[in-house]
Structure 1
Amino acid sequence: MKKVLVFAPPPTANGDLHVGHLAGPYLRADIYARHSRMLGNETYYVCGVDEHQSYVAFKGRQIGLDPQETADKFAAEIEQTLAAAHMQIDLMVRPTRLPHYKTFMEKVFQQLQRDGKIVEREEPCLFCDACQMYLFGAYVRGICPHCDAPSGGNSCEACGRPHEACELRHPACNICGAKPGVDKLTRFFMPLSPYEKQLREYFDTAIMSSSIRALGEQMLKDGLPEIAVTHPANWGLSAPGLTGQKIWVWFEIALWHFAATQALAETIHEPGGCERFWKGTDVEIVQFFGFDNTFFYSLFFSAVFQAMDPQICLPQVLLANEFYRLENLKFSTSRNHAIWGRELLRDQNVDLVRFYLAYSGPETEQTSFVFAEYEQTVKKELLEGVQGWLLHLGSAVSDEYSGIAPSPGVWTETTHSFYDRLNEILRKAEASYSAKEFSTQRAARLLLELAREARFFSHSESHWRRVSDRRLTRNTVIALELLAAKTLALLAAPIMPGFSACLWHDLGQTQSLQALSWPHDLEWIRPGTLISNLNRNYFELYEDVKSLSRPVAAHT
């Protein structure tokens, strides 16, 4: 057994989470962590809330709240949405409520200043004369200097590369729309080039999505930039050494990981504290995030960690996802083209939503939440496919065996073949949940493949029930179907925990599904076990998805 620390990015507290957010790092991290626990690992899923982004203060201006009130409002909504989606998060960390957080940030910042790893520079910046403010982050828009896509102040969602706000082409103030001027300003910068050797070695050894590796290798080839780590602002943590400036939130989030881990260590009474996780040889650290944040989580954070202490172990696994769209268009709250997570989860069975988001999630390419496809998938694959097969199996066990699991009897070529297919699905599912091949899409499709194989097998072998001399063959058929149902409950547990727990109980299994180790081999249901209620509606909260034929209006 090893310790596994799974991180999902702290969502920015400038709005609730819509379905696009949930389908990305939050559900993916939850599925990974649940599977890791089933492997017997001591696993912790850590998330939080990003309260100090410029987007929080910007949103507050729009809705008439100060930044802290804005952060409080949306942090509460974010936590409620994650809970509604049955995310099994072990610790949610809010910076403004974490003791010693500010002191820790200042201490590390000052140490890096003294070590010469953060340096003072006078560089060009954007300034809006009309608004009398320095523009960065949420306050400016323009054209990315690297890929010509529309971009915000300090990084591009399209290509994932960072840039200075003054490098934007055709910049405009997001408050008044005016074209800003260019001024000189002294800020603190962190050069990344001193860590090039360590970063190259890291990219050669870590498990990471190809999109992460490609961006990192190209930036290493082009030469690593210097990154401004302070900005003049009225919201955030004050930067030691420069009056009126705040620590850039992405530098803060890098250090947030250690503050969060220390809070976790105190919660679980880990005597080694934060270092037990970040310097332990028996610890796996896994980081999920969206592709647009690839630079920060792969290059920038790694450089910050090495600057702090070269003995820190960098995350062994980095897994990125692409953007999730709605009806093939980008989610947009301003155009009311969005579905808030809590609104969907309020009306739909949570496991159905989790399944579809895993099934259609944006792993290596942008994908889309399409209502017609959601309806078709739920009805055909889950209600008619999975539910239909379990109903048929429940009736057979009840009518032919008085609800008691039989022992396997006589085997045929067909029963041997079905057993082999179950084994193959188990192996593929194990790979789909692993770090090297992690794919919720493949895992979800394997659940459907198992149900389709079982349904086909059930109907093809149902004829033996009419042949009295082949009772032992029929016993093998039903025992194999029960084995398939048990395997389905186990394989589906990371994606559909509620469904799996109910099915597990109905199959007469008394031990906790969460406490079990992942099955490396198929495990029969013990003969004589009482099988109950397989004819129940496992998705009873499901309602007609035609009621969702148009996007739920987003509240801006």
Structure 2
Amino acid sequence: MSRRTLIISPAPTANGDLHLGHLAGPFLGADVYARWLRATGREVLLASGFQDTSSYVVTTARRLGTTPQDLVTSSGEQIEGTLAAAGIAVDGFTGDEDAFVKTVRRFLEDLHAGGALELRTLLFPYSPATGEYLVDGFVRGGCPVCLADGCAGLCESCGNPVAPGDLLEPRSTLDENDPVELRPAQVFVLPLERYREGIRAHFAEHGRAMRPHMAQALQEMLSRPLPDYPVTYPVSWGIPAPFPEVAGQVVNPNAEPAAWSIYCAQLSARNRGLDVTEDELWLTGAGTRVVYFLGFDNIYPFAVAMVGMLLAAKGRYLLPEEFVTNEFYELENAKFSTSRRHLIWGRDLVAEVPRDVARFHLAATSPESQRTDFTRAALERVTSARLIGPWNRVAEKVDAFTGRGALPVSARSREAAARIVKRFAAGYELEYFSLTRIAETLGEQLGRLEDWDVAPGQEGDFCHQVDVIARCGAPLLIDLAAGALADLSIPTGEGPAEITPVPLPRLSGTVAG
């Protein structure tokens, strides 16, 4: 019996809606993979949500002239609405609810009680003018590893952690004219170096789906001593730290992933009618296979620090098995940027074109191992040539055969169908999961059917293979599948001896702007 798979796409910051870079990266991949598992008879949970504790909520709210809490409220609604509009079927959508906060605090209290957390004095950028420490989105500077300019916390370029006190030439993002100095503060940390060999051993055994950039980055990170990982920060925005030794501090948002993952698993399971306790699905021996779809810049908090935290729980919890990463998706050869208004919101695109068309193009151009680019001209060109035109011409052929009743399907066509399923499975199964390969295979198969000169006696074979290809494309083309198929199961075994064709829906795809 196959194990239950828990798929998690890390929660985006609640400082705005989701743009195409979010959708083309982890969210579409997670949704497509979940749908494939269900279509092949496997049990799966898909979880995500939003994160309200990041300092970027504060900086964005200040820039927009609103309050952080109002920004969180509006952004959370936008994110959940955009996922639904794009057909991302999340089972558990987490937010800032009290149950999540309690889970985070309880998880960290357990680590503290077990001796896993230690007090350390670290250096932080500090604003003498405001009397505030500056962490993560509050401060920019050079990455001490790759020199790229960015905020503290994580380097988007190389993926390494950037301790606030290690930023090169730090400057405040709240006031660029505010002088910044380094001052010490005592915080709780997880001494990650204790768990480096355990983390390395885990990824030596697992990680078959790991893409080259993540593999290279992990090798680099784990080849040298790991720095202490701050669990608390001396700032005011976030979940209040549950430790009297650091009264007034908050939990580092990048120290939340383990507790958040445990919480969203429970929420997802209960939303699907399962009666589970708080951390039941994460307990060692639960048989859960945990898979993450995430951007490359999130690998340290999820694949290194989180795995270290789970190891620090002394065997209580299982470890995630696979991480599927993506690079940045660009708009006209520049990174999507909310602050520069260089973006296209996900909800806007699916309002302009049918969402199946949008999903197909985002899959075809997904930034799996390198940065890729979105343009409306390419959207129209690619989807018209590879999806809309071929599908509609294939549907016209099928329509011509309807009304004849059941048509025979040859053994040769059943053999071809098995090859088609195998070809699609090569892109869907996790070891070599690839949205671009799925879209490519779909386009190739539709092109083959479009060119098929159906001879007398082949009508059943043709309709049979259209049905198989529609089923294999269903995790991506969700609305087309709903209109064309009575069920979404992937064919197994020898296949049918006959098929009764039915009229098929058509695709449209005009691009505005």
**Is contact 2:263–2:278 with CA below 8 Å preserved after alignment?**
no
User: Residue 188 of structure 1: CA displacement?
Assistant: 1.3
Specify the alignment match of 1:163 in structure 2.
162
User: Residue 422 of structure 1: CA displacement?
Assistant: 4.6
Specify the alignment match of 1:212 in structure 2.
214
**Is contact 1:266–1:273 with CA below 8 Å preserved after alignment?**
no
The AA in structure 1 aligned to 2:220 is Q
State the distance in 1 between where 2:159 and 2:404 align: 57
For the residue of structure 2 that corresponds to 1:12, the secondary structure is coil
User: What are the superposed Cα offsets for residues 349-368 of structure 1, whole Å, 9 maximum, x if unpaired?
Assistant: 01100111111101111111
Calculate the aligned-residue CA RMSD, in Å: 2.0
Cα gap change, 1:271 to 1:327, in 2 (>3 Å): closer
Specify the alignment match of 2:502 in structure 1.
532
State the distance in 1 between where 2:345 and 2:276 align: 40
Cα gap change, 1:361 to 1:522, in 2 (>3 Å): farther
One of 243, 246, 253 as aligned partner of 2:250: 246
**Structure 2 counterparts to residues 335-350 of structure 1, below 5 A:** 335-350=340-355
- In terms of mean alpha carbon deviation, does 189-198 or 72-81 score higher? 189-198
1:364 aligns with 2:359: no
Specify the alignment match of 2:6 in structure 1.
5
State the distance in 1 between where 2:309 and 2:498 align: 54
State the distance in 2 between where 1:433 and 1:440 align: 8
State the distance in 2 between where 1:78 and 1:313 align: 29
State the distance in 2 between where 1:274 and 1:114 align: 18
**Is contact 1:278–1:313 with CA below 8 Å preserved after alignment?**
yes
State the distance in 2 between where 1:314 and 1:331 align: 32
State the distance in 1 between where 2:163 and 2:3 align: 41
**Structure 2 counterparts to residues 306-317 of structure 1, below 5 A:** 306-317=311-322
State the distance in 1 between where 2:113 and 2:97 align: 28
Count residues with an aligned counterpart: 506
**Structure 2 counterparts to residues 218-257 of structure 1, below 5 A:** 218-239=220-241, 240-241=243-244, 242-257=246-261
The AA in structure 1 aligned to 2:503 is N
**Is contact 2:199–2:308 with CA below 8 Å preserved after alignment?**
yes
State the distance in 2 between where 1:438 and 1:69 align: 38
User: Residue 40 of structure 1: CA displacement?
Assistant: 1.1
Specify the alignment match of 2:477 in structure 1.
496
For the residue of structure 2 that corresponds to 1:429, the secondary structure is helix
Specify the alignment match of 2:288 in structure 1.
283
**Is contact 1:288–1:318 with CA below 8 Å preserved after alignment?**
yes
User: Residue 335 of structure 1: CA displacement?
Assistant: 3.0
User: Residue 419 of structure 1: CA displacement?
Assistant: 6.5
Specify the alignment match of 2:268 in structure 1.
264
**Is contact 2:282–2:288 with CA below 8 Å preserved after alignment?**
yes
For the residue of structure 1 that corresponds to 2:5, the secondary structure is strand
The AA in structure 2 aligned to 1:385 is P
User: Residue 245 of structure 1: CA displacement?
Assistant: 0.9
For the residue of structure 2 that corresponds to 1:487, the secondary structure is helix
State the distance in 2 between where 1:434 and 1:98 align: 36
The AA in structure 1 aligned to 2:447 is R
- In terms of mean alpha carbon deviation, does 204-213 or 324-333 score higher? 204-213
**Is contact 1:447–1:492 with CA below 8 Å preserved after alignment?**
yes
The AA in structure 2 aligned to 1:199 is I
Cα gap change, 1:158 to 1:488, in 2 (>3 Å): same
User: Residue 522 of structure 1: CA displacement?
Assistant: 6.3
For the residue of structure 2 that corresponds to 1:69, the secondary structure is helix
Specify the alignment match of 2:138 in structure 1.
139
1:479 aligns with 2:452: no
For the residue of structure 2 that corresponds to 1:533, the secondary structure is coil
User: Residue 521 of structure 1: CA displacement?
Assistant: 4.7
The AA in structure 1 aligned to 2:390 is G
Percent identity for Structure 1 against Structure 2:
29
**Structure 2 counterparts to residues 90-489 of structure 1, below 5 A:** 90-94=91-95, 96-99=96-99, 101-178=100-177, 179-207=179-207, 208-239=210-241, 240-241=243-244, 242-267=246-271, 268-271=273-276, 273-395=278-400, 397-398=401-402, 402-408=403-409, 416=412, 422-456=417-451, 458-459=452-453, 462=454, 464=455, 474-475=456-457, 477-489=458-470
Specify the alignment match of 1:519 in structure 2.
491
The AA in structure 2 aligned to 1:253 is P
Cα gap change, 1:60 to 1:432, in 2 (>3 Å): same
State the distance in 1 between where 2:261 and 2:336 align: 28
**Is contact 2:18–2:79 with CA below 8 Å preserved after alignment?**
yes
State the distance in 2 between where 1:525 and 1:386 align: 24
The AA in structure 1 aligned to 2:313 is M
State the distance in 2 between where 1:141 and 1:38 align: 46
For the residue of structure 2 that corresponds to 1:288, the secondary structure is strand
- In terms of mean alpha carbon deviation, does 193-202 or 437-446 score higher? 193-202
Cα gap change, 1:230 to 1:381, in 2 (>3 Å): same
**Is contact 2:185–2:234 with CA below 8 Å preserved after alignment?**
no
State the distance in 2 between where 1:19 and 1:403 align: 44
State the distance in 1 between where 2:351 and 2:283 align: 38
Q: Give the TM-score normalised by structure 2.
A: 0.94
State the distance in 2 between where 1:352 and 1:108 align: 42
For the residue of structure 1 that corresponds to 2:53, the secondary structure is coil
User: Residue 281 of structure 1: CA displacement?
Assistant: 4.9
State the distance in 1 between where 2:110 and 2:282 align: 22
